[in-house]
Chain A
Amino acid sequence: MNYVQYFIDAVALGSLYALVALGIGLIFGVMRLVNLAHGELLMAGGYTLFATNGWSAFVRVPLVVLVVVALALLMERLAFRPLRDASPATMLVMTFAVSFLLRNIAQKRWSSQGKAMNIFAGLSKAFRVGDLRIRYVTLVSIGVGAVLLLAVNLFLYRTEIGLQMRAVASDRRIAQALGMRINRIVVTAFVIAGVLAAAALLLFVPQRPTVTPDFGLQIGILALIGVVVGGMDRLAPATFGGFAIGFANSMVFSLLPKGQRVFLDSALYGLVIIVLLLRPQGLFQRERLTARV
């Protein structure tokens, strides 16, 4: 029965990382931008929750979404848009500078001590099915994750701007030459990524109830690793990669002997290296998409 419990916990964490990964993958798709500052969107949402402690959840949830989306758009407009044609290394370091900037602002404003986020206290309660202990947040995470993934998929494949977004993702120059409004498409991608980040944050709260300036960095980097492991070039593999890294993180932790759990990082990163060596194009990519040289 233990293993079923591990599995359920792992699926719950996996679906949270899938939401973060989908946002990262979406932005990589339309901009070829590896956004190290994506986690700071979650951090900003976390501090919004802290600052509005005691307000009604009906106000706080929309406010979190609003703040996170606004921050995502601000990043895009001020930092990333001017560098759209720069080298990948330059863009990467820019996203790091943005992340560093936001973390420092948070540190100055709220210090590096953890602040309680306090929302949806009911979600961390659990019910029992036989020997299994299932927290409500697990079900909600899986449910919300599935609904949002489906919604993004419908958006991409059933709407005009979704179609354009896929066109931009496969070749920006040609899309531009065909008269598509790149800025509008990129902005839409950032809005969606912001909403996904806000949702992920709200669902992370029962697991990690305190926010620190580094809160988002750890989540963002792990999700990014998942995206690369899954396969960056397409959205579905990237999302599965995020799911896989969250799943593996929880599973490896549960399976390691108690005394060896401090070596969780090593085990997880070791797995990442093995997967990258075996399938550098991505774990969930069907064919080899990297340039054949």
Chain B
Amino acid sequence: MSDRGVSIRRAAQTLGGPIALVLLAGLVSLVFSGSIELRFHNAFVITAMVVSVYVFSGNSGVISFGHVSFVALGAFSAGMFSMGVQQKGAVFKELFPFIKDNHLGNVPTLLLAAALGGLYALIIGIPLVRLNGLAAGIATFAVLGISRNVLRNWSKVGPGAKAIPAVEETTGLAQAMLALILCIVVAYAYQRSPSGRRLRATREDVAAAQGVGVRIYRERLIAFALSGAMAGFAGAVYVHLLGSVSTEQVYLDLTFLVLAMLVVGGINSLWGAVLGGLSISLVNTVLTEGEKGMSLFGWKFTLPTSTSGIVLAALMAVVLLLRPKGLSNGREFRVPGTR
């Protein structure tokens, strides 16, 4: 087969593998109902967040602890604008008028969240993407701390320490899957684009990439803003799934969960991001539902209470010990036996 044929087939597999996995998971979810069905939807949305972090961290090699602040911004803006005007005015009296008096439908809130997430990422990226390594990690973590602190205490823009109640729950199977597939397609398009390739070159060797004229700052900033927009979008889909949101739900735990999914799956590939997000969600579902007593394909079992966190952490540790580069081993999806 010609080289061109091989390259097209590889491309189809890189994009097709993750999408096929998502479709498969969606199909499996049809078997279930109630809380387990919801957990599938949850898994799709969280995985969309993992993919958004991957777009920046996977391609640039710089770990970001700050992406959940874009998720939070997306979730809070979508949540605030999808609340009914009357109810909003009654519950949160101190809001700025433009937030208090406006209501947006489902899709406009998603678009707004993506726009705000991207804008926020662009603004903080302008100074921060100059940093490398741990300094970058800590600086993005500081952004997360500030975002949470402001959202929690500035009652003119949001609910403060309370939760946003009664957001329209429009995220079902269709929207959750669609959102994830959209994120996968965008991530794929980006990593194949000239800008994405240049950024991946800087990940492998900063000096060599700069030597051939790659503008590292510019490429990182593009990826940061794009992934911020994706994270904001995922946050909005998330709030429409949960029906309510508080600052604690989009802070440390979510940050580490998303990063752990990315690294356990394999930070260097899109396949790793999707695999990590879905497989950890699956394990988590089995464990937490198992505590309540679960019946899986006719097999009934009950796990001791509050062990799920312990087992999940231990499993993640074991995976990292056995496969330090993650489940995907840092590679994109390939059908076994093909090049």
Chain A, residue nearest B322 (CB): A82
Contact partner of A90 (CB less than 8 A), chosen from B57, B141, B153, B325, is: B325
Query: Is there an interface contact between A96 and B259, defined as CB atoms closer than 8 Å?
Result: yes
Query: Is there an interface contact between A79 and B317, defined as CB atoms closer than 8 Å?
Result: yes
Query: For B57, what are the chain A residues with a Cβ–Cβ distance below 8 Å?
Result: 89
User: When chains A and B are docked, how far (Å) is the Cα of A266 from the Cα of B153?
Assistant: 10
Query: Is there an interface contact between B149 and A266, defined as CB atoms closer than 8 Å?
Result: yes
Say whether, besides A34-B134, A86-B324, A293-B206, A105 and B310 are in contact (CB < 8 Å): yes
User: When chains A and B are docked, how far (Å) is the Cα of A31 from the Cα of B261?
Assistant: 24
Say whether, besides A83-B321, A101-B314, A93 and B259 are in contact (CB < 8 Å): yes
Query: Is there an interface contact between B150 and A266, defined as CB atoms closer than 8 Å?
Result: yes
Contact partner of A96 (CB less than 8 A), chosen from B133, B256, B321, B325, is: B256
Query: Is there an interface contact between A104 and B306, defined as CB atoms closer than 8 Å?
Result: yes
Query: Is there an interface contact between B260 and A89, defined as CB atoms closer than 8 Å?
Result: no
Query: Is there an interface contact between A262 and B313, defined as CB atoms closer than 8 Å?
Result: no
Looking at the assembled complex, report how far the CB atom of B257 sits from the nearest CB atom of chain A, in whole angstroms: 9
Query: Is there an interface contact between A108 and B306, defined as CB atoms closer than 8 Å?
Result: yes
Judge if A155 is at the interface, Cβ distance under 8 Å: no
Looking at the assembled complex, report how far the CB atom of A290 sits from the nearest CB atom of chain B, in whole angstroms: 7
Stretch at the interface among B29-37, B75-83, B124-132: B124-132
A216-247, CB < 8 A from B: 217, 221, 224-225, 228-229, 232
User: When chains A and B are docked, how far (Å) is the Cα of A86 from the Cα of B263?
Assistant: 12
Query: For A293, what are the chain B residues with a Cβ–Cβ distance below 8 Å?
Result: 206-207, 210
Say whether, besides A93-B264, A94-B320, A228 and B138 are in contact (CB < 8 Å): yes
Query: Is there an interface contact between A276 and B131, defined as CB atoms closer than 8 Å?
Result: yes
Query: Is there an interface contact between B142 and A225, defined as CB atoms closer than 8 Å?
Result: yes
Judge if A157 is at the interface, Cβ distance under 8 Å: no
Query: Is there an interface contact between A87 and B321, defined as CB atoms closer than 8 Å?
Result: no
Chain A, residue nearest B306 (CB): A108
Chain B, residue nearest A222 (CB): B145
Contact partner of B143 (CB less than 8 A), chosen from A108, A217, A273, is: A273
1/0 contact string of A113-131 vs chain B (CB within 8 Å): 0000000000000000000
Chain A, residue nearest B317 (CB): A97
Query: Is there an interface contact between B310 and A90, defined as CB atoms closer than 8 Å?
Result: no
A250-288, CB < 8 A from B: 262-266, 268-270, 272-273, 276-277, 280-281
Count B-side interface residues using an 8 Å CB cutoff: 47
Query: Is there an interface contact between B306 and A93, defined as CB atoms closer than 8 Å?
Result: no
Say whether, besides A89-B263, A101-B310, A293-B207, A276 and B149 are in contact (CB < 8 Å): no
Chain A, residue nearest B205 (CB): A293
Query: For B259, what are the chain A residues with a Cβ–Cβ distance below 8 Å?
Result: 93, 96
Judge if A107 is at the interface, Cβ distance under 8 Å: yes
Query: For A104, what are the chain B residues with a Cβ–Cβ distance below 8 Å?
Result: 306, 309-310, 313
Query: For B6, what are the chain A residues with a Cβ–Cβ distance below 8 Å?
Result: none
A53-99, CB < 8 A from B: 79, 82-83, 86-90, 92-94, 96-98
* CB < 8 Å A-B pair total: 132
Query: For A108, what are the chain B residues with a Cβ–Cβ distance below 8 Å?
Result: 306-307, 309-310
Query: Is there an interface contact between A100 and B256, defined as CB atoms closer than 8 Å?
Result: yes
Contact partner of B263 (CB less than 8 A), chosen from A90, A229, A280, A291, is: A90
Query: Is there an interface contact between B153 and A263, defined as CB atoms closer than 8 Å?
Result: yes
A25-40, CB < 8 A from B: 34
Query: Is there an interface contact between A107 and B127, defined as CB atoms closer than 8 Å?
Result: no
Contact partner of A269 (CB less than 8 A), chosen from B149, B153, B256, B309, is: B149
Chain B, residue nearest A277 (CB): B127
B131-175, CB < 8 A from A: 131-135, 137-139, 141-143, 145-146, 148-150, 152-153
Judge if B316 is at the interface, Cβ distance under 8 Å: yes
User: When chains A and B are docked, how far (Å) is the Cα of A293 from the Cα of B134?
Assistant: 16
Query: Is there an interface contact between B145 and A265, defined as CB atoms closer than 8 Å?
Result: yes
Query: Is there an interface contact between B210 and A225, defined as CB atoms closer than 8 Å?
Result: no
Among A86, A104, A221, the most chain B Cβ lie within 10 Å of the Cβ of A104
Contact partner of B324 (CB less than 8 A), chosen from A83, A217, A221, A224, is: A83
9 contacts between A and B (CB under 8 A): A82-B321, A92-B63, A100-B309, A108-B307, A108-B309, A268-B145, A269-B149, A273-B142, A277-B131
Given contacts A34-B134, A265-B145, 4 further A-B contacts (CB under 8 A): A79-B317, A96-B259, A108-B309, A273-B143
Q: Could you list which residues of chain B lie within 8 angstroms of chain A, going by C-beta atoms?
A: 57, 63, 127-128, 130-135, 137-139, 141-143, 145-146, 148-150, 152-153, 206-207, 210, 252, 256, 259-260, 263-264, 267, 306-307, 309-310, 312-314, 316-317, 320-321, 324-326
